Amino acid sequence: MSQLPLKSIQAFSDAHPKPSDLHFQYGTAGFRTSGSTLDSVVFRVGILAGLRSKRLDGKTIGVMVTASHNPEHDNGVKLVDPRGEMLEASWETHATVLANAPTTDAFLEALEALVRNAKIDLSKPARVVYARDTRPSGPALISALEDGFKALGVEARDGGVTTTPILHYLVKAINTKGTSESYGEDSEEGYFTKLSESFKKLVVGKAKPDPLIIDCANGVGAHAGAKLVKYLGESFSLVLENTATSTPGALNDSCGADFVKTMQRLPPSLVEHMKPGQRACSLDGDADRLMYYYLDERGQFHMLDGDKIATLVAAFIVELVKLAGLDSEVKVGVVQTAYANGASTKYLAERLPVKCVPTGVKHLHHAAEHYNIGVYFEANGHGTVLFSRATQDILASYEPSTPAQSTALNHLINLTQLINQTVGDALSDMLLVEVVLAHKSYSGVEWNSLYADLPNRLVKVVVGNRNAFKTEDAERRLVSPPGLQAKIDELVRRYEGGRSFCSQDFASLPELAFRVAGLVYDEAGGDPSKRPKEFLP
């Protein structure tokens, strides 16, 4: 039986020692921290990816080096499973254990334990595709990753500098190539062709939309956006802004989807470019989040976040399913988190099933898989639409009885091609939004008027021990510290339509938010002399 190449791994591992004073944790976003501290982690992830591939009979695993919307000095690394989905939860623990082995000898022992406990057949091939974003720390970390591949003898394919969603697409396309479930050509060209061709089919006969300004966050979305422009041709005009990918410190700095969502205003660099009545959108640093907005006729800024995108898209898909005559066979559902604006939840719940799950893409994605067509978007603009395999089979075999049904059916089929179903994808989601706006003849004003957001506020409270806070009911209610939830409920009852929850942040009506924040600060033993002035009694 094959054995681990211990001498090879030892030699490479000695060149990538773990910092003795740091602990690393694999979470929803993988490993993410200062890019200068990740050398050993990324090297070890290279080996872990190879072992994951061997465990899955040589299926290709993805590795993405990115820190998404984080500041430029940060970086991160995450693994992608064969269907383009996030790493299986049990392997997050394996990743954390390997990353924190203090020495090379301890790392080798941890590897042997993993091979033994996970029953990995080392004679199987190991295949990985990998990529990175535009961060300055990226090339050195890729070098460490490649050392991990060499140490284990992994067959690795370099995806270059590209977006996280494209890397997810490549993983699924590679693993489904030549099968009945082929996801598309396994290349960037295949990705752009798939998106652009389906978009063009979906907007045939519709009025050409006004040019769309895209804030690329000075990140890798600028590279992908420039390529998409060429594939779209005359069908749609994109105006790319914040494309300075080589300017030090520019990535996500006062721009990008996270800036817009957090600050609820235009990126300063767009102020001179946008005119009243014009719409625009922002990507984040690795182009997996999307935030829309527009200026009304008075030049007032209006944000259209992930909740607004979910309502727009879900309502459109429900309408198409009904027009196709498939509403008895195909059920559409929406998945949200507690961070969703209550007005969006009310609007959606009056029209289709809505499920609330804990924060984190893996929870949303998994819940969405239980619907025939599952729509999920976090308020931060990360989300997608999932069509079950059974639903795609129904669409492929269904015989419409009228021209209207045939048209709606073709639209649904083209949506399955336009939407990147592996993960939230800002460029794919942007084209999806534009399709719906074209079909409904909506401007930003009409879209925004579907429902009015309830006033809300996120407030961060620094506490001595964040682990003391335990939640239930999809993070909407506190279990611990004991008695705190009852006190929050008492505060909430004073405000009509009020809602509040404690996770890492607090969301509710603005005044209520600061009262709850003050309550939590006090109950958690916060220093009265350092109590933030904005926290109300």
Does residue 350 surpass a pLDDT of 90?
Answer: yes
Say whether 137 is catalytic. no
Q: What is the pLDDT of residues 206-218, one digit of tens each?
A: 999 899 999 999 9
Query: Three-state DSSP class for 523?
Result: helix
Q: What is the DSSP letter of 215?
A: E
Does residue 432 surpass a pLDDT of 60?
Answer: yes
Which of 123, 124, 117, 73 has its CA nearest to residue 98?
A: 117
Does residue 266 surpass a pLDDT of 70?
Answer: yes
**Which residue intervals of 375-509 are DSSP H helices?**
389-397, 403-418, 426-440, 444-448, 484-492
As a whole number, mean pLDDT of residues 389-393 equals: 97
The per-residue DSSP string of 195-207 comes to: HHHHHHHHTTTSP
Task: Return mean pLDDT, the chain.
Answer: 93
Q: What is the DSSP letter of 263?
A: H
Q: Residue 310 has which token pair? A: 């979910």
Give me the percent of the chain exceeding a pLDDT of 70. Answer: 97
One-letter amino acid of 461: V
Does residue 364 surpass a pLDDT of 70?
Answer: yes
Residue 315 pLDDT level (bands cut at 50, 70, 90): very high
Residue 474 pLDDT level (bands cut at 50, 70, 90): low
Q: What is the pLDDT of residue 472?
A: 79
Distance CA 348, CA 381 (A): 17
Does residue 494 surpass a pLDDT of 80?
Answer: yes
Query: Three-state DSSP class for 135?
Result: coil
Q: What is the pLDDT of residue 505?
A: 43
CA 371 to chain centre: 19
β-bridge mates for residue 292, sequence order: 281, 304
Distance CA 168, CA 428 (A): 13
Does residue 404 surpass a pLDDT of 90?
Answer: yes
Backbone angles phi and psi of 22, in degrees to 5:
-120, 145
Residue 508 pLDDT level (bands cut at 50, 70, 90): low
Q: What is the DSSP letter of 9?
A: H
Q: What is the pLDDT of residue 524?
A: 78
β-bridge mates for residue 470, sequence order: 480
Q: Which of 53, 68, 344, 508 is catalytic?
A: 68
Query: Three-state DSSP class for 226?
Result: helix
Q: What is the DSSP letter of 200?
A: H
Q: What is the pLDDT of residue 510?
A: 66
Per mean pLDDT, which range of 268-282, 378-392, 478-492 is the poorest? Answer: 478-492
Q: What is the pLDDT of residue 193?
A: 98
Distance CA 149, CA 48 (A): 9
Q: Residue 28 has which token pair? A: 């929803």
Distance CA 183, CA 421 (A): 10
**Rounded to 5 degrees, what angle do the CA atoms 92, 5, 38 make?**
40
Which of 431, 463, 461, 476 has its CA nearest to residue 225?
A: 431
As a whole number, mean pLDDT of residues 226-251 equals: 97
As a whole number, mean pLDDT of residues 395-417 equals: 97
Per mean pLDDT, which range of 163-167, 260-264, 298-302, 530-534 is the poorest? Answer: 530-534
Q: Residue 133 has which token pair? A: 């974003």
The answer to whether the beta carbons of residues 221 and 286 sit under 8 Å apart is yes
Q: What is the pLDDT of residue 81?
A: 98
Give me the percent of the chain exceeding a pLDDT of 90. Answer: 81
The residue ranking higher by pLDDT, 230 or 452, is 230
CA 44 to chain centre: 24
Distance CA 25, CA 28 (A): 10
Does residue 194 surpass a pLDDT of 80?
Answer: yes
Q: What is the pLDDT of residue 504?
A: 46
Query: 252-256, 461-465, 471-475 — which one is most confidently predicted on average?
Result: 252-256
Q: Residue 150 has which token pair? A: 């060499």
Helices and strands of the chain, counted as H and E runs: 18, 18
Q: What is the pLDDT of residue 509?
A: 57
Which of 384, 487, 477, 391 has its CA nearest to residue 426?
A: 384
* CB neighbours of residue 248 within 10 Å: 8
Distance CA 458, CA 61 (A): 36
Distance CA 117, CA 387 (A): 35
Q: What is the pLDDT of residue 507?
A: 47
